Structure 1
Amino acid sequence: MKKIFLTILGACTFFSTQAQSIERQVISSGGNTITNGGVTLDYTIGELAVTTITNGTTTLTQGFQQATLQLAIKINPVVFLQGAAINPNTGEETLMRDDLRVAATIPTTSPYADVATTLATVFDVTGADAIVDWVWIELRDKNDANTVLASTSALLQRDGDIVTADGTSGLEFELPEDNYYVMVSHRNHLAILTANTVALSSTVATLDFSASNTVAQGGANAVVDLGTGVFAMLGGDFDENGQVQNSDINAVVLLLGGSGYSLADMDMNSQIQNTDINNVMNSNLGKGEQF
């Protein structure tokens, strides 16, 4: 009898030890939905087989499910702003100026609708990846370019790359792989929209508006040739109505002598001067967005 008892005790001890080693393997029919970035996973635990039961009006599926698995689509837009590209720093002719960053006038809160925020340390970066300003990005429906499907504030680097508010990461949108129109706008430059849809997927797609005047809808009317083989968004839209008009110039005249982060600062040097009118606005008078 004592031998049998010891055998049973040993068996219990064995199983107890084994249970401790696999304690995180829960055997139950519970489940949950988890989301991480652009991936959503529905799952159940402890059911190895999938069973579907229906009574004609209600359907119940048991077991492991992967109902929705959507990877974020990724895009690397590249744009140049006329205001920041004219009069480049000596030896940095291929880069935009980052005068607003140097003057510490770029706000950590985006000036656009989503009021995204960034850390002040993001503006400590220098060189080609230094921040020029905030921009606004939209993905639009392939069947109707007026329908906005996703939008976000982003940051523009001196080399033209547009990144997220962290200052380094590429843009991602939680939308399915498909073709989209892409729009880029800036607070005192004329917005641009792709002439054609762009195929976007979980593989990063580069969209370089600066490489040609055919990328943006409206062609040469939508961008300006900087004379270096680089095409830039047109500056001069003070009132943000999609047109460069005498009313824009008249409003800027009243602000001459001012400074800081202002819509009137067309050449983006943190000063409101006659050069904003003469070098940017006058040359673009009568121009408008092409979509």
Structure 2
Amino acid sequence: MAMVSNSTALAQASCVGTATLNVTINTCVTGELVKATALLQGAYSTGGQMQVSSGFFNQIPLTQPYQSAPWGYGGSESIASRPANMIDWVLLEVYNAADTSLLETKAALLLNNGSIVDVSYISNPTVGGVYFQSVVANSAYYLVVRHRNHMAIISRTTVTLPNAGAYNFTNFNNVMGGAPQVANMGSGYYALLAGDYSANGIISVVDYNGYAQLPLPPPNSYVDNDFNLDANVTTADFNLYRPNSSAIGMPAIRY
């Protein structure tokens, strides 16, 4: 039988190895991906692109701003930082096909090219839409886009989800109610109508009163009466409101 000296045995017993283990944890986003594109009249630039002032961009909240009335949305969507191509927060909603009742709402990021994307875009810029947990795959729904001070729009027809290509709200033929529901920006692009301060789906004197309220907010403010998203309330905002006054949104999505 082989013998081991006491000194050798002690050395072997006291030997401790160390190793570094790198673990990658991927956050799993569940649900069906819903894709849509839309433009805001107030932020529109040219060629299907939008832009906002640096003053406005720096005031965009990191947490979704739709908690208050009339939206009353309690979602916890937030971002750690603003992507450079972000225009503002919007709400994307899915409505049941049978009775146009609301199924689910998500707060999302509106990018300068009109893409509406999930907050997971911050960590995964390849995401091309918004995840909805209540959507049943291969079923048809109406889609709705809402913004703080632009009139909401709803898809002309139902959309089978998940959709491979984004539903294009920049084409008035894809909007229920057609051209009167959107602003003609030229070159075939249409956008949500600016001036719905109350966000109730009707642009009226109520919205003018919201625009004209005193005192005026200080410069570089994120406020609902800033219709052109330049972080200031001026006559430029009134000039957006005026031609849109008396616009009435579709009944199914008015507050």
**TM-score, normalising length: structure 2:** 0.76
| 2:92 aligned with 1:137 | yes
- Distance (Å, rounded) in 1 between the aligned partners of 2:108 and 2:59: 17
Q: Which residue matches 1:231?
A: 190
Identity %: 28
| 2:161 aligned with 1:200 | yes
Q: Per chain length, whose mean CA-contact separation is higher, i.e. which structure has more relative contact order (CA < 8 Å, sep 6+)? A: 2
- Distance (Å, rounded) in 2 between the aligned partners of 1:172 and 1:254: 38
Give the C-alpha shift of residue 239 in structure 1. Answer: 1.4
Question: Aligned pair in 2 of structure 1 residues 213, 93: CA closer, same or farther (>3 Å)?
Answer: closer
| Cα RMSD (Å) | 1.9
More strand by share: 1
| 2:113 aligned with 1:163 | no
Equivalent position amino acid for 1:131 in 2? M
Give the C-alpha shift of residue 229 in structure 1. Answer: 1.3
Name which of 121, 132, 146 aligns with 1:185. 146
| 2:110 aligned with 1:150 | no
Give the C-alpha shift of residue 76 in structure 1. Answer: 1.4
Cα pair 1:114 1:153 within 8 Å, conserved: no
Query: How many correspondences in the alignment?
Result: 209
Cα pair 1:136 1:153 within 8 Å, conserved: yes
Q: Between Structure 1 and Structure 2, whose CA radius of gyration is higher?
A: 1
Name which of 74, 78, 99 aligns with 2:53. 99
**TM-score, normalising length: structure 1:** 0.67
Give the C-alpha shift of residue 257 in structure 1. Answer: 4.3
Cα pair 2:55 2:230 within 8 Å, conserved: no
Equivalent position amino acid for 2:231 in 1? S
Q: Which residue matches 1:176?
A: 136
Question: Aligned pair in 2 of structure 1 residues 284, 224: CA closer, same or farther (>3 Å)?
Answer: same
Equivalent position amino acid for 2:92 in 1? I
- Runs of 4+ aligned structure 1 residues displaced above 3 Å come to 100-103
Helix, strand or coil at the partner of 2:172: coil
User: Where does structure 2 lack aligned partners over 5 or more consecutive residues?
Assistant: 1-27, 67-72
Q: Which residue matches 2:22?
A: none
- Distance (Å, rounded) in 1 between the aligned partners of 2:39 and 2:74: 22
Equivalent position amino acid for 2:86 in 1? I
Helix, strand or coil at the partner of 2:90: strand
Name which of 223, 230, 235 aligns with 1:274. 235
Q: Which residue matches 2:245?
A: 285
Give the C-alpha shift of residue 154 in structure 1. Answer: 0.4
Give the C-alpha shift of residue 97 in structure 1. Answer: 0.9
Equivalent position amino acid for 1:199 in 2? T
- Distance (Å, rounded) in 1 between the aligned partners of 2:215 and 2:37: 31
Question: Aligned pair in 2 of structure 1 residues 101, 196: CA closer, same or farther (>3 Å)?
Answer: farther
